[in-house]
Chain A
Amino acid sequence: MKKLVRVILLNVIVLMVVSNQALSFADPSSLYTTEIPENWVYQAQRSNPHLSVFYGEGDYDLLYFQNLGPISDANVEAFVERTLALYEGPGGLQKFYLDKAPHQVEVAGERGLACVYSYEERSGVTLWEYRIFLILPDQQGFSIALGGRAPWNDQDYPVLTETLSQWRWLF
């Protein structure tokens, strides 16, 4: 009986370990690789060679990486400033509010800026987004965004922490 319980327990532990495993993700345009937590699902229909979209467990959980192609901003600060001005301005995001001002981050050795902002989506729900802005070699604009319903604090990005720790650029 004891042996059976041990076997069952061992199986449960193995299953738990396996179920928490992240999935390797290679960008279709060969720009980067990373790991995505297993309960985040790749959305093929919304993705394209320049945009990779993942849905999380929550109804609004969203993780996406976008390669914008060439941009003309002199530095990442100007890129962030221009983007946020457009988000905030006419035709931008409804009830835009900058929760956390742009601050420096590093993604696999590439320096960027990150910020947190909230806005109201069409049905009136307030959404928060943590966004990282980067300018890669050849003036390629790049963005990593984690969206959801929770008004996150700086420490509340386990998904992003995991994804960014495994991030590797392929250039």
Chain B
Amino acid sequence: MKTFVARKTACCVVLLCLILAPTISYAQGAQSFGEWFERSLGSSAVPELVKQYGGVYIVPIQERLWLDEVFQRLVEVTERKELDYNLTVLDSPEYNAFALPGGYLFVTRGLLKAIAQDEAKLAAVLGHEIAHVEKKHGINAVLRQMGLTVLVEVGMLWLDVIPADLLRVASTTLLQLLHLGWGREAEYEADAVGQSLAVRAGFDGIGAVALLDDLLEADSFDLPMKVFRTHPDTKDRRYRVEERLTSFWSIPQFVPAAQLKEILIESRNYDQNRRSDPNNRFFVAKGLSSGLEVYDAQSEQRMLWLEDIKVKDFAWSPTGQYLALVVEQSSLTELWFVDRYGHVVQKLQPDVKYGRIVALSWSPRGEMLALQCSDGVEDQIMVTYVHTEVYLPVSGPLGGKEPIWLDEGLYFLRGEDWYHTSAPPTKPVVVPNPVPLVLQRQRILSPTVIREGDTIRLTRPSLVLP
């Protein structure tokens, strides 16, 4: 009975295609029908999309070389090698990005400008869009919408043909769906796959969090950022991409104490005297119940910073530019960053659920900090970024304390034993075959200084063109 129904269905499809035969076009080369249809559908929608977004933007040479390098690194780690991914920049001030089936990716000029050469953010955007193609979100949404899933699947098996009218209708449907989004689950999946692609390609996965922070900020100011606008709730997505960051870290491995001792002796960036900054210019004295007593070796000055503030621990950044402080505020602890003049430049307040911060250690490149957090029962190591507020529990369910961050990775104590974990490796974008820069002079505007008795007044600088 089943065989009879299947045969009947197949006969109907063959009959339908024979009727449509005069208007059909044939698939080319060794591609499967599905791939060919996907590619044809994507390419048929390209001209209309480019038109809608102000045409193609010609990216300046140096920026284009950088953009291509980020894009190529992502394409290299994709799974659908049969696709020929390509990227077009649209001449629109909007902050937006799209992906069409078959590997046609688009970002707007506005998005590139806002990202301002932040490779992690760009990798997050492109990774997300590539993920839509990798997971066939666009093509599946179109086929679902048109009720063509079965026809195309059967066609894939037996026919290798497609009516041209059908492609036209599908292309219109695709453009309509593109502006509505591919669906909630598809967006979550694109976030996950895109972030993973970016990390595999050597970019920092924090880019996705930073990008969503930008969107949240734009939302609060009601700025015209349309990227991911059709996507699920931004806060929820941010929560998910932050949660996922920990999974990219290596599983903590036991390190014999003798081995660690050897590593510490050989390590260039292990600072035994944490009180002096790396340039030995400032020295923080010990013993004050509140505030910081700082000595300037150059001017031989004694300074008292943050007089009424209880500082539990501190650490100089690797460049000596900032001092990170663990500050006690009533029942909570906060993480403060102080510049070399004693000014507080940033305050972070970790969620109460992580407990109180006990100790801290900078990453060798100074973009992250490892925090020892304690809820009174157990300690764990959390990692946060200086420019993006995230808290990643990296010491695993058994916890850890006394973080030491070296070039080789992050070491911490669990019970009596030392463990090692490390962030996923990142590599900077290096344009493979650069061309010389063409520079032009920049005019620096200087204010006029007017002294009036004990006060100094600065006038607004005026631009004088030569």
Which residue of the partner chain A has the closest CB to B436? Answer: A143
* Cross-chain contact of B440 among A71, A91, A121 (Cβ < 8 A): A121
Residues of B within 8 A of A46 (CB): 439, 442
Whether B22 is near chain A, meaning CB under 8 Å from some CB there, is no
A73, B435: Cα distance in complex, Å: 11
Residues of A within 8 A of B64 (CB): 91
Residues of A within 8 A of B433 (CB): 71-73, 82
Residues of A within 8 A of B58 (CB): 90-91
A16, B465: Cα distance in complex, Å: 31
A123, B441: Cα distance in complex, Å: 12
Q: How far is the CB of B282 from chain A (nearest CB, A)?
A: 23
A61, B442: Cα distance in complex, Å: 11
* Cross-chain contact of B438 among A68, A87, A90, A141 (Cβ < 8 A): A87
How many CB-defined contacts (below 8 Å) exist between A and B? 64
Which residue of the partner chain B has the closest CB to A93? Answer: B438
Residues of A within 8 A of B377 (CB): none
A93, B465: Cα distance in complex, Å: 22
Whether B59 is near chain A, meaning CB under 8 Å from some CB there, is yes
Which residue of the partner chain B has the closest CB to A148? Answer: B441
Which residue of the partner chain B has the closest CB to A63? Answer: B439
* Cross-chain contact of A68 among B59, B436, B466 (Cβ < 8 A): B436
Residues of A within 8 A of B439 (CB): 46, 53, 62, 64, 145, 147
A71, B65: Cα distance in complex, Å: 13
A129, B442: Cα distance in complex, Å: 16
Whether B60 is near chain A, meaning CB under 8 Å from some CB there, is yes
Residue of B63, B434, B442 most packed against chain A (CB within 10 A): B434
Residues of A within 8 A of B63 (CB): 91
Whether B437 is near chain A, meaning CB under 8 Å from some CB there, is yes
Residues of B within 8 A of A59 (CB): 441, 466
Interface SS of chain B: loop
Cβ contact within 8 Å between A131 and B436:
yes
A46, B443: Cα distance in complex, Å: 12
Q: How far is the CB of B54 from chain A (nearest CB, A)?
A: 16
Residue of B58, B430, B432, B436 most packed against chain A (CB within 10 A): B436
Whether A83 is near chain B, meaning CB under 8 Å from some CB there, is yes
Cβ contact within 8 Å between B432 and A68:
no
Which residue of the partner chain A has the closest CB to B432? Answer: A72
A82-B435, A91-B64 known; A62 and B59 CB under 8 Å?
Answer: no
Residues of A within 8 A of B465 (CB): 123
A92, B436: Cα distance in complex, Å: 12
Find residues 56-103 in chain A having any chain B CB closer than 8 Å to their own CB: 59-62, 64, 66, 68-69, 71-73, 82-83, 86-87, 90-93
Which residue of the partner chain B has the closest CB to A82? Answer: B435
Cβ contact within 8 Å between B440 and A86:
no
Whether B61 is near chain A, meaning CB under 8 Å from some CB there, is yes
Which residue of the partner chain A has the closest CB to B438? Answer: A93
B interface residues, Cβ below 8 angstroms from A: 58-61, 63-64, 430, 432-442, 465-466
Contacts A/B (CB < 8 Å), 30 sampled: A46-B439, A51-B437, A53-B439, A62-B440, A62-B441, A64-B437, A66-B436, A68-B434, A68-B436, A69-B430, A71-B434, A72-B432, A82-B433, A86-B61, A87-B435, A90-B58, A91-B58, A91-B59, A91-B60, A91-B61, A91-B63, A91-B64, A119-B438, A121-B440, A127-B440, A131-B436, A145-B436, A147-B438, A147-B439, A147-B440
